[in-house]
Amino acid sequence: MTSGATEATQICELDDIVPDTGVAARIGGRHVAVFRIGADRLHAIDNVDPKTGASVLARGLVGNLGERLVVASPLYKHHFDLATGECLEHPELKVAVHHVRLAGRCVQVALT
């Protein structure tokens, strides 16, 4: 995690997340989506779709659009870059990206 990050919260064990899917967590009243890519690569973004306000991004499909790793919102199929939080179809619809790490086999997230 980078300097200035808030305290990390334990979310789950790595094996609780099926590869190439996401899980939802609530940290301090904030809805967060944590994605496991492949064996042990992790990303965390806000779980709330900014177009609808629904907490659904963790249930979206993960994939690539060109060089970008994205999740497609289950509602309007907007693609959110997992590294930057940018919506590819509507850049004004951005979600926050959070710090995520493994501590042993435990997934931890610190809000940004």
Q: Give the amino acid at 55.
A: S
**Euclidean distance between CA atoms 73 and 58, whole angstroms:** 8
pLDDT band at 6 (very low <50, low <70, confident <90, very high): confident
Q: Considering the domain 9-110 in this protein, what is its CATH number? A: 2.102.10.10
Residue 2 is predicted with a pLDDT of: 39
Name the residue ranges covered by the structural domains of the chain. 9-110
Q: Which of 12, 42, 17 is nearest to 27 (CA)?
A: 12
* Residues 85-102 pLDDT 10s: 999 999 999 999 999 999
Q: Distance (Å, rounded) from C-alpha 42 to C-alpha 93?
A: 22
The strand ranges marked E within 1-112 are 9-13, 21-27, 30-37, 41-46, 61-65, 68-72, 79-81, 97-103, 106-110
